[in-house]
């Protein structure tokens, strides 16, 4: 990292620490119902609340109508892979989960509870998730090491009757697909014909391979690269992968029809490079991009420093470049995906979220950007374009209904209006609290 980059990063670290100390965290619980006197608690608590409990006892699904469950999710982590920090533990994960809960509320109108847990095994993690299921309408898995995260997602999706989602997998994969849809339009290429190299074989790219396939990319036209090189069926470590990481093993069998053995061979005539690997720069070499097809698309998604600087990728021949950073064009950000997916899922009381839901949401997000006018430097909306969230929520809800995963039905227009109303109210309430001084604005000297 350059000296100026280090200074800027240190400034954000220091500012975040000061804000956390001054505010005592980022979220709190606010009541929905009016309280004018103690008599009101005869309704909200005993004896009146027994009537609500008795109704739910007869039909547990009424908990989605008579409690906060209809709009509540848990942001669940064991703190084993927090941002780029690694295994820092559940306590150190809490401020990150608070931040994610804030994003859920502001961008999706979703009540999200940060819930870092101290568990030693994946089986313990599953047991905790099962135990808290009655309190929530969904679970967002967050910042969990690989390959444990794959096991947890697969297991909990099968065994819970509420949607379980891992944003480092599905959220990032959905954002990648949304950006790729429009990048391909810019360079006039068809998703069914492209060769894609996925540099890095962790949570994001393993999920991206699956989602890209669901969107029309042939597994044979994908090549995944890990620290030992391209995955392929004849690699010496296949037996080990089969035992320790069956998800990578499965992709090694399905992908890389060319049987490329080196990174250089893999990059030849590739149309798309999606890198979710080690922070850079200089992780992706310019010579590799020069070997790609004309009008190459490069997503360099590592934070805080992309694997190759965007201008260097363009110097090497890339036409469309995206990163994970907000200060460069085309930020591929899973926060575009997760609030709206859960908004739509909660509104139809979903039992699950399939890969096809992610594809539908990615397509809607891409359509929103296309309507605004896509260019090489604008292939995906930013988080500030809040109107995209109700549209994506509506796309998610309709697909969930169509797949028979919903407890209640809806149409696109019905959910669009509902989601727009909920999200706009959430944003307006926060702005009103700030205006009235009930939420203090950040001191100007901290955000210069």
Residues known to be catalytic: 45, 100
Rounded Cα distance between 148 and 242, Å, is 14
What's 74's DSSP letter?
E
Q: How many CB atoms lie within 10 A of CB 44?
A: 13
Note whether 279 and 253 are within 8 A (CB): no
Please, is 123 exposed, middle or buried when counting C-beta atoms within 10 Å of its C-beta (0-12, 13-18, 19+)?
Answer: exposed
User: Phi and psi for 166 in degrees, rounded to 5?
Assistant: -120, 110
Note whether 310 and 287 are within 8 A (CB): no
The secondary structure of 205-227 as a DSSP string is HHHHHHHHHHHT--GGGEEEEET
Which value, to the nearest 10 degrees, does the dihedral of the CA atoms of residues 151, 153, 156, 157 take? -130
* Chain CA centroid to CA 136, Å: 19
**DSSP three-state, residue 364:** helix
Question: For residue 47, is the peptide bond before it cis, meaning its omega torsion is within 30 degrees of 0?
Answer: yes
Q: How many CB atoms lie within 10 A of CB 154?
A: 14
Q: Which residue's entry shows tokens 């909200």? A: 44
Residues 6+ apart with CB under 8 A from 134: 60, 63
User: Could you tell me how many residues make up the chain?
Assistant: 448
């Amino acid at each position: 990292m350059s000296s100026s980059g280090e200074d800027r990063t240190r400034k954000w670290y220091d500012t975040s620490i000061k804000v956390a100390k001054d505010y005592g965290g980022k979220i709190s619980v606010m009541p929905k119902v009016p309280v004018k006197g103690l008599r009101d608690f005869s309704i909200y608590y005993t004896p009146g609340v027994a009537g609500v409990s008795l109704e739910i006892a007869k039909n547990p699904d009424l908990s989605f109508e008579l409690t906060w469950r209809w709009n509540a999710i848990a942001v669940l982590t064991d703190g084993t892979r927090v941002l780029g920090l690694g295994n820092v533990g559940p306590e150190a994960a809490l401020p990150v989960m608070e931040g994610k809960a804030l994003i859920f509320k502001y961008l999706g109108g979703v009540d999200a509870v940060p819930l870092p847990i101290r568990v030693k095994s994946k089986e313990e993690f599953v047991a905790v998730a099962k135990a808290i299921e009655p309190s929530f309408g969904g679970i967002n898995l967050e910042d969990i090491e690989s390959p444990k995260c794959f096991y947890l997602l697969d297991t909990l999706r099968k065994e819970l009757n509420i949607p379980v989602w891992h944003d480092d997998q599905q959220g990032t994969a959905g954002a990648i697909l949304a950006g790729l849809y429009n990048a391909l339009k810019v360079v006039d290429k068809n998703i069914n014909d492209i060769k894609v190299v996925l540099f890095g074989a962790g949570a994001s790219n393993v999920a991206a391979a699956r989602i890209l396939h669901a969107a029309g990319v042939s597994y044979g036209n994908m090549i995944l690269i890990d620290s030992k090189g391209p995955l392929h069926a004849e690699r010496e470590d296949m037996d080990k992968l089969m035992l320790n990481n069956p998800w990578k093993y499965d992709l090694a069998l399905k992908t890389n029809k060319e049987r490329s053995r080196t990174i250089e061979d893999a990059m030849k005539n590739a149309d798309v490079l999606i890198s979710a690997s080690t922070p850079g720069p200089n992780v992706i070499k310019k010579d590799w991009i020069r070997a790609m097809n004309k009008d190459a698309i490069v997503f360099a998604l590592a934070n805080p420093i992309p694997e190759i600087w965007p201008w260097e990728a363009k110097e090497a021949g890339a036409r469309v470049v995206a990163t994970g950073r907000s200060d460069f064009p085309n930020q591929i950000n899973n926060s575009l995906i997760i609030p709206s997916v859960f908004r739509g899922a909660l509104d139809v009381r979903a039992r699950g979220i399939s890969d096809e839901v992610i594809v539908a949401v990615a397509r809607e997000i891409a359509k929103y950007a296309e309507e605004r006018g896509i260019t090489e430097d604008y292939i995906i909306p930013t988080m500030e374009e809040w109107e995209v969230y109700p549209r994506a929520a509506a796309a998610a809800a309709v697909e969930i209904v169509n797949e028979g995963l919903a407890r209640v039905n809806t149409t696109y227009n019905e959910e669009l209006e509902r989601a727009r109303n909920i999200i706009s109210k959430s944003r307006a309430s926060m702005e009103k609290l700030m205006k009235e001084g009930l939420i203090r604005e950040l001191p100007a000297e901290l955000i210069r």
